[in-house]
Structure 1
Amino acid sequence: MRAGPDLTPLHEHGCGAGAGSCVWHKEPGRLGWPGADLRVTEASFKGAMVWVLRVAVLTWTLAAVSRGAELSQELLPSSGIQDCKKNLKVPSLEVLPGGGWDNLRNLDMGRVINLGYSLCKTTEDGSYIIPDEVFTIPRKHSNLDINSEIIESWKNYQSVTSSSINLELSLFSAINGKFSQAFHQTKTHQVQDRAFTTRVQVRNLVYTVKIDPGAVLDKSFKKQLMVIASHLENNQTRMADFLSEVLVLNYGTHTITSVDAGASLVQEDQIKTTFLKDSWGMRNTITASAGVAFHSIINMKTEGSLDTSSSFTKQYVENRTNSRVESVGGIPFYPGITLKTWQEGISNQLVAIDRSGLPLYFFISPSTLPELPTPTVKKLAKRLEAAIRRYYTFNTYPGCTDATSPNFNFHANADDGSCEGTMTNFTFGGVFQKCVGLSGPDAGALCHTLEQKNPLTGDFSCPSAYIPVLLGAQEREEGHSHLECHKKCTLGIFCHRVCQDVFWLSRVQFSAYWCAARGTVPPDSGYLFGGLFSSHSANPLTGAQSCPSGYLQLKLFDDLRVCVSQDYESSIQYSVPFGGFFSCQAGNPLGGQHRGTPEDPYVKRCPSGFSQHLALISDSCQVNYCVQAGIFTGGSLPPARLPPFTRPPASLPATDTVLVSSGDGEGAWVRDGQSRLWRPAQPAEIQHTAEMVMGRRLTGGEVAGVTAAVVVGLATLLAMVSYGRWRYRMRGYREMKERDSTPVGSPEDSTVVSMGEGYQQEAEGLTA
C-alpha cells in the first residue's frame, strides 16, 4: 500500500519566488479520509500489511525499552548540589543569574538557563558552591558604600536592586520598573503628599556572578519553545502568538546575565516640596540631614561636621511626610541595630543588589535550539519579541506627566504633550455593532449575541449630523458539539442506527462603530457619556461593573459596555465630557487632522484637553476612549496588564510539516519520521520530498491494476454472501424436519428465554 500525494505545499508559509523560507506539510484529509488519494495494487497490499505489523511491534518494543530506561534513571541516586554540599562542607551561592525577569514589575520569573552541579565548582575563595554554568568575580574590597541623594520627581526614580537592567535600551525603557511596588509607593507619596524623595543607602558588594555564554536553555523553557515552533511550522500563527504571550507571563521580558551579590540598607524619606524650594541653595545640607536621620536609626554616631546642622536637621524631620527603611540582605532590620552588627551578618545572607540582562528573545538562536531549522528559529525569535513588545505597549499610559498642570494624568507613565491646551465640548451620537456569519450552523446565534443597534435610530446607523466611525472589525469563533444520527448499512441488508457527537465550528465577523459629530449639531441631540466597563474592569464613575443610575448599557465588541443617557436634567450629574474613541485599527476624528491614508484618515490620539484611558484589549487590539483631562485619575495606580492578550483559536487545523527550506541559501531541514526531530536534509531527500509533495498521476497500468483489484474483491464478497445465505436456509430446513419428528413436551418441560429490549431493537434495526 503506497500513499499518494499526501503532502501539500503552503505558499502562504513562504513558498515561492523570493520567499525567505518554504514549508511543506501533510494534511490528514488527503489520506484515508473522504477525498483521499490512495494508490493500491494487489501485489503491494500484503507487503504493506506485513510492514505495518513490523512497525507496530518495533514501536512497542522501543516504548518499553524507553520506559525501562526512565525507571532505571528514577531509581538511580541523583548526583547534584546535595552531593557537593556533603563532600565540600560549604553552602551554595543562592544569588544566581540565568533566570527570567519581568522588567516592568521588577520580579524574578521562571528559569531560562539550565544550571547544574556536576563539577562541584566553588567561588575563588572557596566560600560557596556555584553551578557549572556560572563564574564569579570576587570584590576584594569590603568597604561600605554610603551615599545620599535627592529624587525630585518620580520620573527619575531608580530601583535599588535592579537599576542596571531597568536601563536596558532594547525595548521601551521609559516604563521599565514603573509597575514595581517601590515605584508605586514613591509616585503615590510624591503626588498625593506633594513631596520629593531623599534616599540614603549603605551597600556592601561581595561578588559579581555572571552566566557562561555557552550555557544551554532550561529543559522546561526549551520544551515550551519547541511547542511554539511546531505551531509556527504548521502556519498556526494565532496559537503561536497566544503561547508566546503565555511564555512572557511565565518567564518575563528579560533574562538575567549578571547579578551583584551583597546586601544593602536603604532609607527613603518623603519631604514636602516647599522645604526644597525654601532651601534650594542648601541641597548638600538636605542630603546631609537625610544622612543624620539615617545614622540615628541604625545607632551610628555622626561626624562633627554633621552636628553643626542639627537645627536644619530638625526642620528636615518636621517636613518629612513618610519614611521607609528597608534591609536588602543581611540580618533583618530592627530599630537600634548597629551598622557593625548588620555588616557582620552579610556573609550568610547574600542577595542580589543589582541585575543586568538582555531581552528574552536574544537567547533564541540556532546555537541554543539546534533541533530546529534556522528559518523556524528566526520566526520564533520574532514572535517572542512581538509578544514582549505588546506587553510593553499595553502597559504604556500616555498622558500629561507634569503634576503642576491642570491636565495632569496620575496614571500616565509616558508624556504625550497633552499638558497644554483647553478642552472643547463634544457631543456623542451613540454606538452600534454589525455582525455577519461566515460559517457554521451556530453563526446566527453567535451573531445575535454580538449585534447592537443604536437606540437613537433603532437601527445599525448614526443620527443625522453624525458620521459612523469604524472602531474595529474582528472575527469570533465558537465550537459546539451536536448529536447526529444516521443509518449505517452493510451491503444494503444489515442496517443499524449510529449516533455520535460531531464538533461544528461557527465563525462570524463583527464591526464596531461609534458616532462622531460632524460640524455643528442641535443642542441635546446626542448622548451623555457615563463611563464604561467590561468583565475585567470597573466603571470609574461607579467603582463597579455597572452604569450610573438612569444610564443605558450599549454593547461594543464582545465584552465592553458603554453607559449613555438622554436625560439631560437628572443624569447630567453623572456624565463626563467625552472626546471620542480610537483603537489599533482606527483613529479619532475628534483628535485633529492626520496625514494618513484613505483607509486610516484619523490620528490615533485624544483632542486637546482630553486624556486617553484604556477601554479594553480585544484580541491583541487596544481600544481607548477620551475624557476630560484630570478625570478618572484618582485612587491608586493601576497594576500591570498581564498577558496573554491574544485569543486562542477554537480549533487547530491538523497539519504536519515535514520539510523546511530557506530561500537565502542556508539549506533545508527534514523531520525524521520516527524521532520527530529535525536534521539537515540531503539533496536526495529534498528531491524525494518535493516529488511526494507535488505528486504524480496514476499510470495506465496502475489504473488497470486498481480496477481489477476492486472488481475481483466485490465478486468474491458477493459470492461469500450468497453461499452463506444458502447454507443458512439449508440448516433451517433440517432443524424444522427434526422438530416435526420430536414429541411435543408439556408446559412444565418448556423454557422461556428473555433476550431483553436490546435484542428487540437490534432485530428491528437489522430488518429496517
Structure 2
Amino acid sequence: MDNYMKVVKSRFQTTHGGASISFCNTSFEEWQMSVPHNMVAVDRVGRPIYEAVSASKLPELEPSLIAKIVEVLKSAVHRYYEANIVPGCLDPKSPLFDPNANTPSNAACSVSEASFFKKGQIFGGTFQICQGLEILCKHPLTGKYSCPSSYTPVRLLPRQVIGCVTWVDRGWFWNSYHEFCAETDAFWCSPSVLDGKINGAYFFGGIFSDTSVNPVTGDRLCPDKFDKFRLGEGIHSCASVDYEIAVLKSVPFGGLYACQSGNPMTPLIENFEKPLTKSGNVDSLEQAPKRCPSGYVTHSAGLEDISFEEKIVQVYMQALDDLLLELRIEVVVEKAASLHRDMKMLLQTVFG
C-alpha cells in the first residue's frame, strides 16, 4: 500500500483563455500557442480606447482633426457604458439578488418601506393619443384616451409619425394624391397616491422593444397570462389583471422615464405619504427626476429616435471632409478608407 501511495500523483491545473486542455493530450507549449486565438479578460484595469488616438501615433493628421476623432470615440464609449450598466443587488445571500446586474447597488439589496407596494397592482397601463389609427390607441381598461380614476397621465414620448399611406384619386384628366399619416402621443398612467387602497389597474410584467429584451422573460415577449401593449413605435409594455398566475410573475413597478420626461413615481414612492398631484410633488411633471426610486433597478426599454447616431455620423462625415481637404491625395485614400472601416465598426458596436 505504501508503494502504491508513493506512485500516485495528483495535479490541478487552472488556465485563463487558450484552448481547452487535456492532461493526456495537451502540452504546455500547445496551450501557450493557442492563447492569442482564445483570449479572455483577466483584469478590469486598462486604458480607454480613445486614449490610443494621439498626435504621436497619427502625425500626418491635423491636431484639430485628432481632437474630433477622440471626441467621437469618447462619446461612443461613454454611451456604451451608460446603455450596458445594470445596477442591482449583487449579494447572493440577499432575497433581492439580481443575477442580471453587473454594477453593485446597496439600495437594491435593502427592503425599504416602499416594498409594501412592490407586489401591489399599481401599474396604470399605457395609451396613445392618435391621429389616423385611433382604434389601436385607446386605453384597454378605460376604452378612452385617459387613465383609470386615481391615476395621472404622464407623457412619455413626444409626437411621432408611425406611418403614412398615399391615396390616389384618379380622375378623367388628372390624378389627386392624398397622404394620410398616423401620429401618436404616448402616455403612461402613474398612480396619484400610494395609500394601500389602490384597486384595479394592472400587474406589471416588464417592458421590451425591437432592440431590447424583457428583463423578466429574457426575451422579446411577455410572461404567461400577460398581454402586450404598444407604446411609441417599437416599445411594448406587459400588463395583466390575472390574480392567480400573473400576480406570481409580476415585478415591482417603479415608473417610466425618458430623455424628455421624468418619473413622478420616484418622489411618490420615496415619500409615499405625500399625494401625487398634477405637479407630481415637484414643480411640474417635466421636472420629475429621471431615475428610479431607491431600491429599484433601471432597465432600458429601447430607443425611439436616432439623434445620437445622427450626431456620430455627422461628426464622422465632417472629419472625413477635413481629411479630403487637408491631407495629400495619396494619404487621403488610405486614411479615409481606414477611418470609414473604423467608424463603421464603431457604429455597429454601439448601435448593433
Q: Into which bin does the TM-score normalised by the smaller protein fall?
A: 0.5 to 0.7
Structure 1 segment 561-600 matched on structure 2, within 5 A: 561-568=236-243, 571-592=246-267, 598=284, 599-600=286-287
Structure 1 segment 84-483 matched on structure 2, within 5 A: 296-297=11-12, 325=15, 328=18, 333-336=21-24, 342=28, 351=36, 358-365=47-54, 368=58, 370=60, 374=64, 376-417=65-106, 418-422=108-112, 423-425=115-117, 426=120, 427-434=122-129, 448=133, 452-473=137-158, 475=160
Letter in 1 for 2:192: R
Letter in 1 for 2:190: A
Alpha carbons of structure 1 residues 378 and 452: separation in structure 2 relative to 1, 3 Å: farther
Which of 169, 186, 205 is the equivalent residue of 1:530?
205
Alpha carbons of structure 1 residues 365 and 473: separation in structure 2 relative to 1, 3 Å: farther
Cα deviation for residue 387 of structure 1 reads 1.2
Q: Equivalents in 2 of 1:453, 1:404: separation in Å?
A: 44
Aligned residue number for residue 227 of structure 2:
552
Q: Equivalents in 1 of 2:289, 2:183: separation in Å?
A: 23
Q: Is the 8 A contact 1:531 1:541 kept in 2?
A: yes
Q: Is the 8 A contact 1:297 1:335 kept in 2?
A: no
Alpha carbons of structure 1 residues 591 and 395: separation in structure 2 relative to 1, 3 Å: same
Alpha carbons of structure 1 residues 399 and 539: separation in structure 2 relative to 1, 3 Å: closer
Letter in 1 for 2:100: H
Cα deviation for residue 407 of structure 1 reads 1.7
Q: Equivalents in 2 of 1:402, 1:371: separation in Å?
A: 49
Letter in 1 for 2:326: W
Structure 1 segment 591-740 matched on structure 2, within 5 A: 591-592=266-267, 598=284, 599-602=286-289, 604-608=291-295, 610-619=296-305, 676-678=324-326
Q: Is the 8 A contact 1:606 1:612 kept in 2?
A: no
Q: Equivalents in 1 of 2:76, 2:116: separation in Å?
A: 37
* Residue-by-residue CA offset, 1:209-259 (whole Å, 9 max, x unaligned): xxxxxxxxxxxxxxxxxxxxxxxxxxxxxxxxxxxxxxxxxxxxxxxxxxx
Cα deviation for residue 588 of structure 1 reads 2.8
**Structure number with larger C-alpha Rg:** 1
Alpha carbons of structure 1 residues 647 and 483: separation in structure 2 relative to 1, 3 Å: farther
Cα deviation for residue 613 of structure 1 reads 3.2
Letter in 1 for 2:83: F
Cα deviation for residue 462 of structure 1 reads 1.7
Q: Is the 8 A contact 1:579 1:607 kept in 2?
A: no
Q: Give yes or no for the alignment of 1:512 onto 2:204.
A: no
Q: Is the 8 A contact 1:369 1:377 kept in 2?
A: no
* Residue-by-residue CA offset, 1:566-592 (whole Å, 9 max, x unaligned): 354675454344332233443333323
Letter in 2 for 1:587: G
Letter in 2 for 1:433: Q
Letter in 1 for 2:23: P
Q: Equivalents in 2 of 1:531, 1:509: separation in Å?
A: 25
Cα deviation for residue 449 of structure 1 reads 9.1
Alpha carbons of structure 1 residues 476 and 364: separation in structure 2 relative to 1, 3 Å: farther
Cα deviation for residue 476 of structure 1 reads 5.5
Cα deviation for residue 391 of structure 1 reads 0.8
Higher strand share: 1
Q: Is the 8 A contact 1:555 1:561 kept in 2?
A: yes
Q: Equivalents in 2 of 1:483, 1:411: separation in Å?
A: 52
SS in 1 for 2:51: helix
Alpha carbons of structure 1 residues 543 and 449: separation in structure 2 relative to 1, 3 Å: farther
Q: Is the 8 A contact 1:450 1:557 kept in 2?
A: no
Q: Equivalents in 2 of 1:408, 1:337: separation in Å?
A: 41
Q: Is the 8 A contact 1:396 1:413 kept in 2?
A: yes
Alpha carbons of structure 1 residues 590 and 378: separation in structure 2 relative to 1, 3 Å: same
Alpha carbons of structure 1 residues 678 and 565: separation in structure 2 relative to 1, 3 Å: same
* Residue-by-residue CA offset, 1:139-160 (whole Å, 9 max, x unaligned): xxxxxxxxxxxxxxxxxxxxxx
Q: TM-score, normalised by structure 1?
A: 0.31
Q: Equivalents in 1 of 2:33, 2:247: separation in Å?
A: 64
Q: Equivalents in 2 of 1:420, 1:524: separation in Å?
A: 27
- How many residues are matched? 290
Cα deviation for residue 612 of structure 1 reads 3.6
Aligned residue number for residue 342 of structure 2:
none
Q: TM-score, normalised by structure 2?
A: 0.60
SS in 2 for 1:578: coil
Identity %: 28
Letter in 2 for 1:535: D
Cα deviation for residue 396 of structure 1 reads 0.5
Alpha carbons of structure 1 residues 607 and 526: separation in structure 2 relative to 1, 3 Å: farther
What runs of 5+ residues in structure 1 fail to find an aligned partner?
Answer: 1-293, 299-323, 436-443, 486-496, 621-644, 661-669, 680-768
Q: Equivalents in 1 of 2:152, 2:213: separation in Å?
A: 29
What runs of 5+ residues in structure 2 fail to find an aligned partner?
Answer: 1-8, 272-280, 328-352
Aligned residue number for residue 274 of structure 2:
none
Letter in 1 for 2:99: F
Letter in 1 for 2:146: S
Q: Is the 8 A contact 1:554 1:561 kept in 2?
A: yes
Q: Is the 8 A contact 1:473 1:509 kept in 2?
A: no
Letter in 1 for 2:86: Y
